Structure 1
């Protein structure tokens, strides 16, 4: 060690000294620093960072300045709030050239400094398996995880760059193909619109033929041959649910097996106009339940709509308006809404199969928003209202009569060219108005898959849904034997006005029903520290409508916890405080309840405590 008191420190000697330190291995191409103090400048957007040089070994320890034999302290100026006290940085340096700082020997190059990731950050970002991979790959200690991560990143950076170039090329090709697909989709939607128009014409003709044959005595209404069971006579004592359960098994020889409580929850959720989401492993009969309901109830029609993974906005669900032709190209979903509006005497159930193949809140946003309003104020805005007004005026001019008096028959008096134009405007006004009302007699159901191909449900969707989890039929052999031994003839007659009434009126709760809500809210309050888990005012209104429609409240607390509270719970197991909160919640649930069994299963997940599996 030279005597620094006698040594004259110059730029040249500092350069030589630093080179010597590199040669003997004291310094490498990079240095490791720890921030000890941050001093914000009074003016400007920069800070002075005071730090110490660390020696990178099995543990981070302070390095001594070879000139002073004291802890090696350095300063540098950089962007304000770039780093905080305690951050460990790695980056390049250069020889110090400023006269008053020559004893520092080196100065950091701020633009090259990278903050080392800490162990908990790496676990949160990549998981514990990745951290173990780093330790095994580089045979390192816990304290060096940040350096190992940087080393791993550098070794993969070149591959990443090559992949990004390939991705860029592929994206260009995809964009070109997407343009072609968009063009074909527009052509397809035009063809579909024509097909639907022909189908509507065919249905009208079929109905006219049917009515004519009926009037002449040639047609028998098969469903009336069977013994129809009136919903009015069954709903009071709960026999209607049992009849539904038996009907689901025997109707058309389907032999579908569902627990009594599942059927009751499903029917009650439909009556109160909840967005019902059916979840469970593949093969549990989610879509079949919806389809078979339409076979058992009369009058009831089920519309199945297959959700596509490329759906990104509401046009994928509802279709779109063509301003050049002043026509609307509907989807099967919107056509189902039109059918429900034109058939007020039937219950219409629209089932979105595999609803979470795409982000629900993207394509279903208009419906989610509209359903928050009072039933008589639920509208979908399909296109700008001015096009509707123009079509209305044009049609009145073509037929020379007010719109209120126009019927489809009036179009026949026009010549072929004008009739085609009038038909498009007639469809726009009477089938697809700009301000489209959601019919009271339509209900929405979604089936969910839980695998790597689907999108997670957002808290917004979960909050607005009633979730029912189905179990595999193989676990319901006792129920199967019971259903096989019973039989019910005919369909269940449905009074649609009576069925939808709970969704239209404000719920009136008995003291017993109010107690159910209070108990659920008491359980919910335990989860107040878990984000989005505590029940809000919207959820309370949903529960009040649901409970008010139950013939009896036995078991209602348990099923509301399963359907309205547990699906809201989601947090990483690394958050021990939240895990303790959930443990306290589970401990309060009744020992033999379904909700407790489900909550215990949620705790088994390795990384995230959640309802979805």
Structure 2
């Protein structure tokens, strides 16, 4: 590699000079005996890889072309593979591979490449283009002919602190200082990371925006963003002077990724549990991230077919490139509709004013009552008033206009047909399901059995849950994505924070607490564990499974003495408002012994492949399995042609939902029929139904309206409750095969499923 002289105009271009700190750190790592990439050196390696990839492209920016002319392009390309592997090896903690790849990079001559860059760029010592506090230059960037042209005007920049920077300088400072100390001693604790992420989640509101820097076969990387008055801005690392870039493995999600490097996505996050990367604080669920459209034109293109989009643009009289015209048109339409919006808002405000007047009257009555209270009771009452005030204030600021929908009278005999039509006509996806699948799903929910929706990806397992809520009044859905790292009940429910004297709930626990409130008693809550077998279900869900077997259905969240402490905090009131709020929340929402609300129904979705955990016999015994498969085009056409056009929501509440129609006494003949089928499998371990399984089937039958409906659903009861229990060697099944198959022949779906199971070479299993 022959060094060339670069002029100062070239060296002032940020496309080249911005990598100097990363090259310096990376070069030092190459010279060190340590072969592991941690902290700054890990991020530096990723920056160097990004720079090399940009320079190795056949088509690249002119400024990059100018710099890389001094090198042999083929030699540069040789660095990419081993450097990518070294970074990946560090993510997977494969240190032997990391050492091998480091040695390979050095043998390929990367030291000369990094040394030359550092000498050339640092020689001129280019100054930062922008001083974030006050600068005499303002930088304007515009893209033209694939070059970045920097224009400088003699204007003073007044840059206000972003909300994120202000947050970092606020109450979180003690937590950050602790993290800094632990980082310096290489002892960042899991508790410190959890405390930071807890407060950070409160700040951002649950999800976070990321600028995607890299997408490859195994990982996705991105930088957190915040929205400011000037657009998207990168969030700096909370306590280190480095780029806050986080990576996460996404092997099982790669085929579903619908974004690329350079996109902005919204993703959920949690605290990282990888000890080597705790300084990055976050573990991001990039697998389920959703890309955000950049412009209004992007929104239209995403939601409209190409021919429809062209027609819309013609009607708007704008070109595809002119997004500003589209924005102007949309703003005009919003203004035209504003009077209607104002009227609705004014009506809501009137109602609010009436409520506030009633509150003021109640407060005066309360003041009169306070005169008769002793000093300690007064203090407690004042505390509660302060908390209630903030809650009312928050509710006032979150007023929304309720969605209007057509109300459809509930007809028990037509309910399943109504749902089938509503699933198709209510939803933009136009969902199509076999009527018996819907019937099995609804009756399992009514019977309060853990309902497991199994089947290939894309068959509508999650969609049927949302579609039911869209079709029926007073149904709430809470989706809870299961993480592969879940190992115990705390991952599902949450934990008690001993320092804050507060319970830190998960979304699952928050949903149960919401369902337990008095004003939710008429609602049906569907809590769906999405991809429930990513982790062992019997590990994280064991306490719920056990509690559902008891009469009171109670779970223990934390020691009762902590609840007594919360009562004392409210009585004494000598703490800050945050601690008071936590104490009141503990008493009202999260008692030490929590009763599972009767209006909650648990659902699980699962895909069966080699990356997930199989369901244990304990879980299968307490579940009803509904397998949803892809329908053929002809099957879909036949179903759609039979549907009535229907939109809206069926009138329903919890009490009406659980009403049964058949007494167990008149079901005896069908119960005997199911028992006979179960007895066919009694020679196989755990295959025949026990008393619990039979009770489940009887309960489902009580929701059938007539004999015709019972005869149809029995096939699916065998399919979903008996066949999943079967797991035996094929050789053990052969002596009974003819007898069992002949008895099952009249049950079409179960017969076809068992035929498919019997085709296995070694083990006969439902999965």
TM beyond 0.5: yes
Which structure has more relative contact order (CA 8 Å, sep 6+)? It is: 1
**Correspondent of 2:636 among 454, 459, 477:** 477
How far the C-alpha of 1:529 sits from its partner, in A, is 1.7
How far the C-alpha of 1:338 sits from its partner, in A, is 1.4
Give 3-state SS (helix, strand or coil) of 2:658's partner: helix
1:287 aligns with 2:476: no
Partner Cα separation in structure 2 for residue 209 and residue 274 of structure 1: 45
User: Which residue number in structure 2 is paired with residue 448 of structure 1?
Assistant: 606
Give 3-state SS (helix, strand or coil) of 2:516's partner: helix
Partner Cα separation in structure 2 for residue 186 and residue 592 of structure 1: 56
How far the C-alpha of 1:466 sits from its partner, in A, is 0.7
Partner Cα separation in structure 2 for residue 287 and residue 508 of structure 1: 32
User: Which residue number in structure 2 is paired with residue 335 of structure 1?
Assistant: 510
**Correspondent of 1:431 among 552, 577, 589:** 589
Give 3-state SS (helix, strand or coil) of 1:427's partner: helix
User: Which residue number in structure 1 is paired with residue 449 of structure 2?
Assistant: 274
Q: Quick check: 1:213–1:219 contact (8 Å CA) kept in 2?
A: no
Give 3-state SS (helix, strand or coil) of 1:452's partner: coil
How far the C-alpha of 1:221 sits from its partner, in A, is 4.9
Partner Cα separation in structure 1 for residue 531 and residue 423 of structure 2: 22
> What do residues 357-394 of structure 1 show as CA deviations (whole Å, max 9, x unaligned)?
110000000110111123xx111111111111221233
Give 3-state SS (helix, strand or coil) of 2:466's partner: helix
CA, structure 1 residues 525+328, in 2 after alignment: closer, same or farther (shift >3 Å)? Answer: same
Partner Cα separation in structure 2 for residue 261 and residue 584 of structure 1: 27
Counting only pairs closer than 5 Å after superposition, residues 553-568 of structure 1 correspond to structure 2 as 553-568=710-725
Q: Quick check: 1:516–1:556 contact (8 Å CA) kept in 2?
A: no
Give 3-state SS (helix, strand or coil) of 1:304's partner: strand
> What do residues 409-455 of structure 1 show as CA deviations (whole Å, max 9, x unaligned)?
xxxxx9xx532221110111111111111111111110010111110
User: Which residue number in structure 1 is paired with residue 744 of structure 2?
Assistant: 589
User: Which residue number in structure 2 is paired with residue 249 of structure 1?
Assistant: 424
CA, structure 1 residues 534+190, in 2 after alignment: closer, same or farther (shift >3 Å)? Answer: farther
Partner Cα separation in structure 2 for residue 440 and residue 418 of structure 1: 36
Deviates more, 1:338-347 or 1:297-306: 338-347
User: Which residue number in structure 1 is paired with residue 534 of structure 2?
Assistant: 357
Structure ID, larger Rg? 1
Partner Cα separation in structure 2 for residue 230 and residue 340 of structure 1: 25
How far the C-alpha of 1:521 sits from its partner, in A, is 1.1
Q: Quick check: 2:455–2:608 contact (8 Å CA) kept in 1?
A: yes
Deviates more, 1:189-198 or 1:423-432: 189-198
CA, structure 1 residues 611+219, in 2 after alignment: closer, same or farther (shift >3 Å)? Answer: closer
Partner Cα separation in structure 2 for residue 195 and residue 346 of structure 1: 29
User: Which residue number in structure 1 is paired with residue 678 of structure 2?
Assistant: 524
How far the C-alpha of 1:196 sits from its partner, in A, is 6.7
How far the C-alpha of 1:556 sits from its partner, in A, is 3.0
> What do residues 89-147 of structure 1 show as CA deviations (whole Å, max 9, x unaligned)?
xxxxxxxxxxxxxxxxxxxxxxxxxxxxxxxxxxxxxxxxxxxxxxxxxxxxxxxxxxx
1:486 aligns with 2:644: yes
CA, structure 1 residues 391+517, in 2 after alignment: closer, same or farther (shift >3 Å)? Answer: same
Give 3-state SS (helix, strand or coil) of 2:448's partner: coil
Partner Cα separation in structure 1 for residue 489 and residue 197 of structure 2: 18
Gapped regions of structure 2 (runs ≥ 5)? 1-91, 100-182, 208-344, 355-398
> What do residues 19-68 of structure 1 show as CA deviations (whole Å, max 9, x unaligned)?
xxxxxxxxxxxxxxxxxxxxxxxxxxxxxxxxxxxxxxxxxxxxxxxxxx
CA, structure 1 residues 309+169, in 2 after alignment: closer, same or farther (shift >3 Å)? Answer: same
Q: Quick check: 2:531–2:606 contact (8 Å CA) kept in 1?
A: yes
What is the alpha-carbon root mean square deviation over aligned residues?
Answer: 3.2
CA, structure 1 residues 183+579, in 2 after alignment: closer, same or farther (shift >3 Å)? Answer: farther
User: Which residue number in structure 1 is paired with residue 764 of structure 2?
Assistant: 609
Counting only pairs closer than 5 Å after superposition, residues 276-315 of structure 1 correspond to structure 2 as 276-315=451-490
Q: Quick check: 1:378–1:438 contact (8 Å CA) kept in 2?
A: yes
Give 3-state SS (helix, strand or coil) of 2:583's partner: helix
CA, structure 1 residues 497+381, in 2 after alignment: closer, same or farther (shift >3 Å)? Answer: same
User: Which residue number in structure 2 is paired with residue 21 of structure 1?
Assistant: none
CA, structure 1 residues 214+256, in 2 after alignment: closer, same or farther (shift >3 Å)? Answer: farther
Q: Quick check: 2:715–2:747 contact (8 Å CA) kept in 1?
A: no
Partner Cα separation in structure 1 for residue 697 and residue 717 of structure 2: 7
1:514 aligns with 2:668: yes
Deviates more, 1:517-526 or 1:453-462: 517-526
Partner Cα separation in structure 2 for residue 582 and residue 380 of structure 1: 44
Q: Quick check: 1:275–1:445 contact (8 Å CA) kept in 2?
A: yes
Partner Cα separation in structure 2 for residue 534 and residue 344 of structure 1: 37
CA, structure 1 residues 311+261, in 2 after alignment: closer, same or farther (shift >3 Å)? Answer: same
Partner Cα separation in structure 1 for residue 673 and residue 188 of structure 2: 55
TM-score by length of 1: 0.61
Give 3-state SS (helix, strand or coil) of 2:715's partner: helix
Q: Quick check: 2:524–2:653 contact (8 Å CA) kept in 1?
A: no
Partner Cα separation in structure 2 for residue 448 and residue 282 of structure 1: 9
Q: Quick check: 2:494–2:505 contact (8 Å CA) kept in 1?
A: yes
1:397 aligns with 2:576: no
How far the C-alpha of 1:188 sits from its partner, in A, is 1.8
CA, structure 1 residues 190+365, in 2 after alignment: closer, same or farther (shift >3 Å)? Answer: farther
How far the C-alpha of 1:258 sits from its partner, in A, is 0.3
> What do residues 261-296 of structure 1 show as CA deviations (whole Å, max 9, x unaligned)?
111111111111110000111111000111111111
Partner Cα separation in structure 1 for residue 745 and residue 353 of structure 2: 63
Partner Cα separation in structure 2 for residue 178 and residue 284 of structure 1: 46
CA, structure 1 residues 318+282, in 2 after alignment: closer, same or farther (shift >3 Å)? Answer: same
Q: Quick check: 1:462–1:567 contact (8 Å CA) kept in 2?
A: yes
How far the C-alpha of 1:534 sits from its partner, in A, is 1.1
